[in-house]
Amino acid sequence: MAIALITGITGQDGAYLAKHLLGLGYKVYGAARRNSNYNTERLEILGVEKDIKIREFELLEESNIRNVLEEVKPDEIYNLGAQSFVAASFKTPLYTSDVTGLGVLRILESLRSICPESKFYQASSSEMFGKVLETPQNEDTRFYPRSPYGVAKVYSHFITQNYRESYDIFACSGILFNHESPLRGNEFVTKKIAKAVARIKKGKQDQLKLGNLEAKRDWGFAGDYVEAMHLMLQANIADDYVISTGETHSVKEFIQASLEVADIPFEWEGEGIDTCAISKKSGKKIVVCSEEFYRPAEVDSLLGDSSKARKILGWEPKTKFASLVDLMVKYELENN
């Protein structure tokens, strides 16, 4: 039975990947940082919590990482752990660089001496393309990160590549574009919108406050994307792959589609920071913009070209934008 170690097991992708690997017959270890109460909620929602062996794991602490690798000796390591919220990285740039950037080096150094045969997956990000230099973005597009998070991901991407080339480690980076699900963290824009729209529908919330509604993202479904992570580690050659849908939509379009799923009639008014959505029923503003959610530097538009993954890995996204919005808003209407 193959053994997988997933860091960031308590996060969105950790939960979907664990479920996928268990379904393929893997023995799954989940690496989670110490907490007064491990946050296993997502694993419980997917019904896999009892099948995963949790080990204490802190990306800031090399001795801790070494102990886990010595005990588990994994065939495959999926490094999904990170300070992953872009907006927070402007407030905690040093911490983000340490966890999201140097954390990867700590794992690679430990892997190199303890289990050099382990295959390694690094969670790279479309945030590395930042102020994009071409559209769509593929594996050869130059990076231009726009946040401390993006810069840390560029570091971790290149250190993964460097260890692959220097020490012949089977190390891959998946350059994943935004992927969402009902298990997405509450601060991310899609979850924030889906949750608020359901609450507005039920009369539990009056208004949703957001930042830049013009930003565009290539949004896919996390359940589809974790399959690509696994496929990368089964390929003949270790390499890097863009994973995306090839469609881009604005935050405004996501709101529009969400209000339609919840059957809330509305109309748009204003432009830029004065944009708002007015309920046709109450005449009140149900969506407004606020300076507090704008970022010091923005990634305006992302659109991925995942033809390499389609060709070499045989991977393709199954969930389109409309189905993703439907899935997320209906989940909130039923469970919120």
- Footprint of ligand NAP (CB under 6 A): 7-8, 10-14, 33, 35, 39, 57-60, 80-84, 99, 123, 125, 176, 178-179, 185
Binding status of residue 84 toward ligand G4F by CB under 6 A: yes
201 binds, among ligand NAP, ligand G4F, none (CB under 5 to 8 A by kind): none
Tell me if the bond preceding 136 is cis, omega within 30° of 0: yes
CB atoms within 10 A of CB 37: 5
Q: How far apart are the first and last CA of the chain?
A: 39
Binding status of residue 131 toward ligand G4F by CB under 6 A: no
For ligand G4F, which residue of 7, 160, 178, 258 counts as binding (CB under 6 A)?
178
Query: With CB under 6 A as the contact rule, which of the stretches 22-30, 52-60, 120-128, 164-172 interacts with ligand G4F?
Result: 120-128
Binding status of residue 189 toward ligand G4F by CB under 6 A: yes
Binding status of residue 126 toward ligand G4F by CB under 6 A: yes
Closest residue to ligand NAP using C-beta atoms:
11
Tokens of 45: 């929602």
What backbone torsions phi and psi does residue 64 show, to the nearest 5 degrees? -65, -45
Cα gap 77→118, rounded to integer Å: 7
Cα gap 284→281, rounded to integer Å: 8
Q: In the complex, what is the shortest distance from the CB of residue 297 to ligand G4F, in angstroms, rounded to a whole number?
A: 10
Query: With CB under 6 A as the contact rule, which of the stretches 27-35, 79-87, 231-239, 240-248 interacts with ligand G4F?
Result: 79-87
CA contacts within 13 A on the Cβ side of 289 = 20
Alpha-carbon Rg for the chain in angstroms: 20
**Which residues of this chain interact with ligand G4F, rule CB under 6 A?**
84, 86-87, 125-127, 177-178, 187-189, 192, 210-212, 215, 217, 251, 293, 295, 298-299, 302
